Every structure is written in structure tokens, then in C-alpha cells.
Structure 1
Amino acid sequence: MILTNCAACAAPLAHTAPRCVRCWTRYCDSTCQHDHWRRGHKQICKKIHRGGNAEQYNADKKYKEAVAEAVEACAADTKGQTCYICTQALHWKTKEGLVRGCACRGTAGFAHVSCLAEQAKILVAEGEENNLSDKVMNERWLRWSDCSLCKQRHHGVVACALAWACWKTYVGRPETDEARKLAMGLLGNGLFDGKHYEDALSVREAGLSMLRRVGVSEERILVTKSCLAITYAELGHLEKALSMERDIYFGRLKLDGRDNQETLRAANNYALSLVRLQRFEEARSLLPKTIPVARRVLGEGHRLTLKMRWNYAQALYKDVDATLDDLREAVATLTDTERISRRVLGGAHPLTVGIEDALEVLRAAFHAP
């Protein structure tokens, strides 16, 4: 993770915590620093300094680990393929293998994380140099997270590796730099996609603290709080997550209105928290009001629309008091949602797989004695 804990005792650190004057490794106090020096920091301090100091050194190390994890996870799918960017099987410099973690199918979409990262880095740098508009810069920034071929977001360990690539690119910039702020948010998302939930929580908490410190819009704060609430839920802090999701949803309604994509995302997250706490009636009250809006504003094949319909089906069939009509509606909803998800995202996408698994469980329940 990013360095939010003392290197000696692992205690959470304040933003103003002291650090090594040479390599900027951070500590609770001078006692921890002296103890860490005696336990081996003396031998690697210069190496960390030469690597760009503690945060950069850590980011580079984590990036290499994340790339290795992604390549290994994709090995069966990428065998015999070549990178669509550099046309090689092994990267000419890093010797890393290929990955594919988007919605591309067939022989499309195979690439090296290094190649994907270099493309994104070049596009963003050109935009910064030429002072391009916010709209164009936002489109270019998406190359850190979205496939340029299928236009769908990378997922799983590939998203995690790309997020570390992004963070190591911009970590050396000041806190107020926009690219650095975006990179920290992307890192939290990537860690979450890679199922490194504890690390994602640490990064997202640090990110929220940083945004409040430098001063950003209420819109930006709501986005970051939403990511944080999702992480709390994944780690089992369900009541805390629900409280945050409720506040975020009503904050979005007030700020953006019901037809805004972020309001719809907040509604879906709020509904999912209700489902997780088995407050099914409340979820069934919320989602039928928001799903038609999502269909109209985003379209049937948008990932958020698909997730909302999946959550609505869960609110129907997971309720112990569900009627036969409820179960039939859940099956019909999941069947249609799975069909659309498979067409748009592909059969290997985590969303498609999750919907299929839910549909299989539900169909099995119908045949249970």
C-alpha cells in the first residue's frame, strides 16, 4: 500500500509524521526511527533514496509485484498471443508477459501492462503540455483504466497493476497536482478490483484526508466517500457503509438531481448496502424508482444498469418471505440481465460471471425438494 503506517511499528501515521531526512521513510516518532535504523534501515536507506525516496521506491516495488500477479493470472488466456501495441509476446525491456482484463474477445486486447501504461502516460503528458480542455484530458485519463479497443474498464488484477503503474508515474508530484490526486483515487480502485481490500481502505482513507486538506469540490468528496463506503462494506463494516451510502445518495440528489449518473450510482450502492443488511423491503422500494431512470439515461447495456437489476433480483429472492411470484420475477430479471451482460461485456467479465452464478443458485432453488 502507500505509506500511511509507521515503518517500524505499523501504527497509522498523521500527515505531518516525521520522516528520515535522506529517504523520507515515515515514522511515529524518533524512537521508532532509531529502532528501525538499528533493525536494518541503515543498510537500505541509500538504496531507497536512489530509487526516488520512500514513496516512489515503494510504488515501483508494488508495481512489479502487481504486474507479475496479473501476468500469472492471465497466462492461460494469453498463451501464443502478442501485444497489440508492440506486437511482441514478451516486452522488449521488462520481459514481462501479456495480460487481458477487459471485454475484448478472440485475439483482441492482449497487451503488456508496460505498453498500456506508456500509452496512457504519453497521452496525458501531451494533454498537459498543450493545455487541452478538461473534457479532452478526462478522455485521455481514461486510458489508465479503460481498454482503447473495447472501451470497457479493465478489471481484477490487471486493473490493479495499471493502477500501480499510474501511481508510480505521478507519486512524486505535489499533493495539489491534479494528476497525483487522480492517481491516488485510481490506486484505491485498482486495489479494490484486485481484492486487496485492506490496502484499498488505507489508500481511500488517505485519499479522502488529502482531498479535504488541499480543498476540493463537494462533488469530489462525494465520489471519494462512495468508494470508501464500498470498501467498508466489503470488509464487513456494513452499518458504517450503510450510513455513508444513505448520506451520499441524498447528497447526490440535492447536488445533481435524479437523472445524473453519479446519483444513480449512489442509489445502487445504497440499495446494495440494504440488501447486505437484509433490509430487502427498503431495497425493493428504492430500485424500481431508479432502474427505469438508469435504462433511459445510461442504456440497457451499461454496467451500472446491469448492477442495479442484479441487486433488485437479490432483494427479491434472498428474502425469506419471498413469494413464488417474487422468485419468478427474480429469475426473469437475472436471465435478461445475464443475456445483455454477456453480449456487452463478454462471458469472462466478473459482472457476467456474478450474475450467472446468482441465476444458477436461484434456478437450483426452484428444483429443491
Structure 2
Amino acid sequence: MRLRRLHTHNCVAEQAKILVAEAEENNKRIDSAWLRWRKCSLCGQNYHGVVACALGWACWKTYVDRSETDEARKMAINVLGNGLYEARHYEESLSVKEAELSMRRRVGASKQNMLGMQNNLAGVYRMLGRDEHATRMLRDIYSGRLKLHGEEHKETFGAALNYASSLVKLLRFEEAKSLLRRTMPVTRRVLGDTVQITLKMRLCYAFALYKADSATLGDLREALATQEDTERIARRVYGGAHPMTTVAERDLRNLRAALRARETSGIA
């Protein structure tokens, strides 16, 4: 079985090399040919796990001797970092992604690309349990998106949600609530109430409301109303089996229990 997998990886790698080489010889952009390094040509699914990792190493070895300014080499280090991440080699992925970020700075990558790479890097920090570092990076990414795109852009909404979620994970609920109170109304106005990013923001906000040590009875009731509305929309739009709906249901049960306990205690 191991030999069969190795043979498959080698075949895919050779096909990718040939397609990229043909595009370069014909002075064409290599983007479409490059997809062969990332996804299966038959089913169209992205490679994952050990397959993505093996192809990442094969890709890097193919183009590592080229100049840092060479497009294929710049893309190859990204494939390697993602492949290591897919195989859960997070420390190795972190080293590669940090090297890629430094390299991109040297060659003058666009602000858009730099923010995207920083976002990927923050994801690795979180997988390694380095949540404070990840949160600082996500704060800078949100600030960068806000400056680059403005407050009504989908990329800005995504950055705000990532930052808020990271704040919640660190139990910094007041900061998360403040951020979400600014961004949720804009997100709902621009994208509507049924898209996942809006629903996730509302779930995050309700969680921060009722988990905060300073939560009042009014906060819990606001959180409950927000959660019930979010769960209802998720069920109607995405169905009862969708992860968005199941998460909303779980949080709703917990919130109702917390509210009952508060009301029983008589604490306002």
C-alpha cells in the first residue's frame, strides 16, 4: 500500500511539473497548471493529509533552486507550508510559513497577499496553542483589512469575526463585544441576515454576552433573543443537520440553562 501511494504521488508530481513547464515555455501564466499541485484533476477536490504533505515536498524540491522572485518558487513554498499543515506537522508548517512571509516582504508582495499569509500564519499559531500571538496577529489583520478595503468589505467582516473569536477564546469578552457591536450592524446591512458570516458573528456575540463575568440578567436575555433568532435562521436556511445549526442549538441549550440559573438565584 505504501509503495502504491508513493507511486501515485510521483505520478501526480510529474504531471504537475509537465503542465507548469509547458505553460512557462509558452509564456503563459502558470496559475491553471499550478492547480495540479493542489487538487485532483479527476474529482476536483483539494489534496489533504499525507498526500498534500508529500506533494508539498515534491513541489518545493522541484522549484527550490530558482530565484526568490520566480513565481513558481514563491508558489511552491506556499504549497509546502499548506501540505505540512494538512498533515498536522504544525511546527514545521510554522517555520515554512514564517519563511514565506519574510520572503514575500523582501520581494514586495501586495498588501492583500501579505494579509492573507498573515491570516494563515495566525491559524498555525492557534493550532499550536499560541493564542496570544495569534490574537495579536488577527488584530493587525483586521486593522489592515479595514484600511485596505473599508468597513463594508467581506474581507473586513471575515477579519473582524476571526479577531472576535480569538478574543472570546482568551476570555476577553468585553473586547469581543465592543468589536462585534461595531461590525455586526454593518455586516447585516451589507450581506444580510442569512449568510454564514453574519450568523457566526451573532453566535459569537451571544456567547460573549452570557459568558462574561459581568453579565447582567439583561445581558443574558439579550443573548437568548439573539441566539434564538440565529438558530431559527440557521435551521431555515441550512437545515437541522448543518454544523451551523447544531452549534447554535448547543449554545442555545447552554444559554437557557444559564438564564434559568440566574433567574432562580434572583441576581439581576
CA contact (8 A) 1:185 1:224 kept: no
1:358 counterpart residue number: 247
- Normalised by the length of structure 2, the TM-score is 0.70
- Residue matched to 2:226: 326
Where do 5+ consecutive residues of structure 2 fail to align?
261-268
C-alpha deviation, 1:235, in angstroms: 2.3
Tell me which of 272, 279, 282 is aligned to 2:165: 272
Q: Residue type of the partner of 2:205?
A: A
In structure 2, what is the equivalent of residue 96 of structure 1?
Answer: 5
Amino acid in the other structure paired with 2:80: L
- 1:219 match: secondary structure: helix
Match for residue 289 of structure 1 among 181, 186, 200: 186
Higher helix share: 2
Percent identical: 43
Q: Which amino acid aligns with 1:256?
A: H
Deviation of residue 287 (structure 1)? 4.2
- Asked whether the equivalents of residues 142 and 156 of structure 2 are also in contact (C-alpha less than 8 Å), the reply is yes
The residue that corresponds to 1:130 in the other structure is: 26
- Asked if 1:245 corresponds to 2:138, the answer is yes
Paired residues in the alignment total: 244
Q: Which residue of 1 aligns with 2:266?
A: none
Equivalent of residue 199 in structure 2, options 309, 317, 320? 309
Distance 1:311 1:153 in 2: 28
Question: CA 1:131–1:97 in 2, change beyond 3 Å: closer, same or farther?
Answer: closer
Residue 150 of structure 1: how far off its partner (Å): 5.7
Aligned 8 A contact 2:151 2:186 in 1: no
Q: Deviations over 1:194-235 (max 9, x none)?
A: 332222211111111222233333333222222222222332
Aligned pair partner of 2:109 in 216, 228, 241: 216
Q: Give the aligned partner of residue 265 of structure 2.
A: none
User: Of the candidates 26, 36, 39, which is equivalent to residue 143 of structure 1?
Assistant: 36
**Taking structure 1 as reference, are residues 119 and 237 closer, same or farther at Cα in structure 2, changes over 3 Å only?**
same
Q: Is the contact made by 2:202 and 2:227 (CA closer than 8 Å) also made in structure 1?
A: no
Give 2:65's match in structure 1, choosing from 150, 167, 172: 172
How far apart are the structure 2 equivalents of 1:162 and 1:185?
A: 12
Q: How far apart, CA to CA, are the structure 2 residues paired with 1:355 and 1:158? A: 29
CA distance in 2, matches of 1:132, 1:295: 40
Partner Cα separation in structure 1 for residue 51 and residue 235 of structure 2: 28
Distance 1:261 1:169, change over 3 A: farther
Mapping of residues 332-351 of structure 1, within 5 Å: 332-335=232-235, 339=239
Q: What code does the residue aligned with 2:187 have? A: T
Q: Deviations over 1:337-363 (max 9, x none)?
A: 7549x8xxxxxxxxx6x6476356336
CA distance in 2, matches of 1:124, 1:291: 42
* Cα contact 2:151–2:157 (8 A) shared by 1: yes
What displacement does 1:291 show?
5.9
Q: Supply the distance in 2 between the matched residues of 1:258 and 1:367 (Cα, whole angstroms).
A: 33
CA distance in 1, matches of 2:192, 2:21: 36
Contact 2:85–2:93 under 8 Å retained in 1: yes
Residues 63 and 76 in structure 2, CA contact (< 8 A), matched pair in contact too: yes
Secondary structure of the residue aligned to 1:95 is helix
Match of 1:121, as an amino acid?
Answer: K
Q: Distance in 2 between matches of 1:209 and 1:269?
A: 23
Distance 1:190 1:337 in 2: 34
Q: 1:259 & 1:154 partners in 2: Cα distance?
A: 33
- Contact 1:264/1:294, CA 8 A, preserved across alignment: no
Q: Is the 8 A contact 1:283 1:315 kept in 2?
A: no
What is the DSSP-based 3-state SS (H/G/I as helix, E as strand, rest coil) of the residue aligned with 1:173? coil
d(CA) in 1 for partners of 2:11 and 2:126?
Answer: 34
Q: TM-score, normalised on structure 1?
A: 0.53
Selected match of 1:185 from 66, 71, 78: 78
**Letter in structure 1 aligned against 2:106:** R
Q: Distance in 1 between matches of 2:237 and 2:62?
A: 38
Letter in 1 for 2:126: A
What's the offset of the Cα at 1:307? 5.8
Q: CA deviation at 1:190?
A: 2.7
Q: Which runs of 5+ in 1 are unaligned?
A: 1-66, 69-93, 99-111, 343-351
1:264 is displaced (CA, Å) by: 4.4
How far the C-alpha of 1:167 sits from its partner, in A, is 2.2
Cα RMSD after superposing both structures: 3.8
